[in-house]
Every structure is written in C-alpha cells, then in structure tokens.
C-alpha cells in the first residue's frame, strides 16, 4: 500500500513516519479522515462532519501534493496522520488574524486509526510535529481546536505542552488557539 522508501522518522519505536505522496497514499489518508469523522459522529460530535458529505475544508489531496501531509505507518497499516502547513490558510487567517504567520507552521487534521486508541499515538505525533521535523524560518507551531471539547483542549495544553493563546469565533463555532515555540532551523 505505501511505496515510500526510507522513513523520515520513527516514533514509539516502531511506527515509521513518511511524507505522504500522491497516488496510493491519498485514498488511505482520505479513508482515515472519514473513519475519524464517523467516530466523532458516533460520540455526538459534529466536528469534521463535512467529510461525511464529501466536503474537505482542508483540501487534503492538494495538501498531499504540496507536501504538507505526514503519515505514520506500522506494518503497512496507516496508524495516523497530521497536516503541517507552512503557509496560513484562509481558515488560519480568520481565526488568528494577520499577525505571526511568517514564523508559524499550522497543525491540522491530527487523527489516528481507531485501532491505535489508548496508545498515546496522538501525543507522539504532536510531539514529533514540534521536534522531529523542522521548517526553515519557522519558530512556532499553531493549532486550533473546538472550544467546547475539554478533553481535547486538555490534551493540547497538558499532554502536548501547547500554550493557550485565546479564543476565536467564526460561523462554525468557537475555537481555542494554541501555540508552541520550537527551535528555529
């Protein structure tokens, strides 16, 4: 399924990290996103519900083409993914305003295969995103998450060490903004 040659990293001693490529990675990544959206719906959340209607606000196939999607693979099984964008999207600009984009990477679409639930894989992916890869001229990782999910907010603050930077609203809802300083490369 995954045709990459050498991984760009390894997390949890056995999960290989690759930059997603067009072709065989795209359907697997989109499938994982839909799986996560279905799981969220089963738990009463409307997060990512657009994916269930075929709406991908982050345009994942295009993000894969731009080299912004990273996949985490164990024994040919896609265990997780994250999107790391070096340019602020319209969504990011709406929530964060116009300051600080030049030095920021935006973390989006963190999700894991439900088979890996309870293994701290999400935390390992977030930590890898701030220490296992570096982007020239970037000294911080930014992310947003829905404000009314205390468990998710605590995950970014406590488990992952992100600093709360405020709340922003748009027609979809209220979102908490988080940022973490990283070593500039």
What pLDDT is recorded for position 45? 85
Sign for the CA dihedral angle at 164, 168, 174, 175 comes to negative
What's the mean pLDDT in 116-139? 95
From the list 127, 149, 135, 142, the residue with the least C-alpha distance to 184 is: 135
- CA angle, 185 then 92 then 82, to 5°: 60
Output the pLDDT for position 89.
93
pLDDT at 2: 60
* 26, 56 Cβ separation under 8 angstroms: no
Mean pLDDT confidence for 119-142: 95
Answer yes or no: pTM beyond 0.85.
yes
Sheet of 15-19: strands edge to edge?
A: 9-11, 15-19, 69-74, 77-85, 104-112, 140-146, 173-181, 163-170
Judged by average pLDDT, the poorest of 43-52, 105-114, 117-126 is: 43-52
In angstroms, the Cα distances linking 54 to 37, 59, 74, 143, 168 are 11, 11, 27, 23, 26
Tell the residue number behind the tokens 């907010």, with chain if given.
153
Rounded average pLDDT over 31-55: 90
Has residue 101 got a pLDDT over 60?
yes
Strand, helix or coil for residue 97: coil
With CA atoms as reference, report the closest residue to 2 among 12, 15, 13, 11: 15
Question: Is the Cβ–Cβ distance between 64 and 29 less than 8 Å?
Answer: yes
How far apart CA 133 and CA 141 sit, in angstroms, is 11
Q: Is the dihedral of CA 49, 67, 129, 28 positive or negative?
A: positive
Share of the chain above pLDDT 90, in %: 79
Mean pLDDT of the chain: 92
Distance (Å, whole) CA 9 – CA 179: 23
74/57: higher pLDDT? 74
Q: Residue 47 pLDDT > 90, yes or no?
A: no
């Amino acid at each position: 399924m995954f045709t990459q040659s050498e991984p760009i990293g390894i997390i949890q001693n056995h999960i290989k990290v690759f930059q997603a490529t067009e072709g065989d990675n795209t359907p697997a990544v989109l499938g994982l996103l839909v799986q996560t959206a279905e799981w969220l719906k089963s738990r009463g959340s409307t997060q990512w519900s657009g994916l269930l209607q075929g709406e991908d606000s982050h345009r994942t196939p295009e993000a894969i083409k731009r080299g912004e999607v990273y996949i985490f693979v164990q024994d040919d099984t896609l265990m997780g993914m994250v999107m790391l964008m070096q340019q602020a999207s319209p969504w990011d600009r709406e929530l964060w305003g116009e300051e600080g984009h030049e030095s920021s990477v935006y973390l989006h679409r963190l999700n894991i295969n439900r088979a890996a639930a309870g293994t701290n894989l999400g935390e390992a992916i977030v930590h890898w995103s701030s220490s296992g890869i570096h982007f020239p001229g970037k000294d911080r990782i930014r992310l947003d998450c829905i404000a009314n999910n205390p468990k998710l907010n605590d995950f970014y603050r406590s488990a992952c060490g992100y600093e709360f930077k405020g709340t922003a609203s748009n027609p979809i809802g209220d979102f908490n903004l988080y940022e973490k300083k990283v070593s500039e490369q």
